[in-house]
Every structure is written in structure tokens, then in C-alpha cells.
Amino acid sequence: MDDDDSFRRAVARLIGLWGYRTYTFGSVEEYLQRDDDPDCIVLDVHLEGMSGLELQATLAGRRKTIPIIFVTAQDDPVTRQRALDAGAVAYLEKPFEDYRLLEALQSVTDYPKV
């Protein structure tokens, strides 16, 4: 989930190449209209409307334990620690190496290793 359309498409394409099915959303609000839960969420910290951290808190409040991989262009140690303390699987600063995203995805899914 990212409000930058080109980044969102590129990450979805990359994840798809690894054999994962992807759904993309430009906002938290758009995602929350979804009826089912994904295996993992790749989520920007800073979004229009609700932030990635707010979605993380909302899901926790609903007792949903969906693994979250945060990505951000504006790394901040306090935000990073807050996300990780709340259970984020990974916190990647843009631009990040592809293998770091793949490692994070593989750590929380049963999909075959590539």
C-alpha cells in the first residue's frame, strides 16, 4: 500500500515475479474496504489520510495479526522503533534492495523460496 502509484506498481510487479499474488491500494481507507485478510501487508509509513502506523494500530485493535512490512522514504528512528515494537516484520528505507523485501516476505509466508 503506497500513495505513489509508480512505486506501488513496481513493488507489486516485483512481488509477483517471486510468485506471490498481489493486490494494490493507494490508501488505508481503500484497503479497509476489503473483506478478506492478506497473508502480509507491504505498507508505506506516510500516506494520505490514515498513516501506515494508524492502520497497524487499527488492525491490532481488531485483533488481526497480519504481518506488516513497512517501507518509507523518510526514515525516522522513533517511527521505526514504534513500528517494530508494535510487531512489524521489517522496516525498509526506500530505496531498498530487492532481496531485503523478499527475505521479509519469506519470513512470514509459506510460499516456496525462490
What does the pLDDT read at residue 3?
83
CB 94 within 8 Å of CB 8:
no
Which segments of the chain have a pLDDT < 50?
114
Cβ–Cβ under 8 Å, residues 26 and 19? no
Predicted pLDDT of residue 112: 54
Angle between the N-to-C axes of helices 52-61 and 77-85, in degrees from 0 to 180, rounded to the nearest 10: 20
Please tell me the predicted confidence (pLDDT) of residue 87.
95
Whole-angstrom Cα distance, residue 48 to residue 65? 23
Structural domains in the chain, sorted by start: 5-108 (3.40.50.2300)
Give the model's pLDDT for residue 74.
87
Residue 111 pLDDT: 62
Q: Report the residue count for the chain.
A: 114
pLDDT, residue 16, reads 92
